[in-house]
């Protein structure tokens, strides 16, 4: 088993910067944006989970979005 790790270690080290960059700059912001979009968040206060209400409001009653 150790021989296999030694065989693949240089390749894994080469792709490690890409994986770290993907996790930090792509995946984390995507997940956090999805979480924020499902909450009623105001700076200085706590999160209030509202589910899909933000999307329902945006697609049905928001005049700025529906113009």
CA angle 39, 28, 66 (to 5 degrees): 45
Other Cβ atoms less than 10 A from the Cβ of 37: the count is: 13
- Higher pLDDT: 31 or 1? It is 31
- Could you read off the pLDDT of 12-50 as tens digits, one per residue? 999 999 999 999 999 999 999 999 999 998 888 888 999
Parent domain of 47:
25-67
Written as six digits, the tokens of 64 are 């700025």
Query: What is residue 60's three-state secondary structure?
Result: helix
Distance of CA 53 to the CA centre of its chain: 20
DSSP class of 56: H
**Structural domain total, the chain:** 1
In a domain, 41, yes or no: yes
In a domain, 16, yes or no: no
In a domain, 9, yes or no: no
In a domain, 64, yes or no: yes
In a domain, 59, yes or no: yes
Tell me what pLDDT residue 32 has: 93
In a domain, 13, yes or no: no
Q: Is pTM beyond 0.85 here?
A: no
């Amino acid at each position: 088993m150790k021989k296999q790790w030694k065989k693949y270690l240089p390749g894994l080290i080469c792709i490690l910067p890409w994986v770290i960059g993907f996790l930090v700059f792509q995946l984390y912001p995507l997940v956090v944006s999805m979480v924020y979009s499902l909450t009623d968040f105001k700076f200085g206060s706590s999160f209030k989970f509202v589910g899909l209400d933000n999307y329902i409001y945006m697609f049905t009653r928001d005049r700025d979005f529906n113009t």
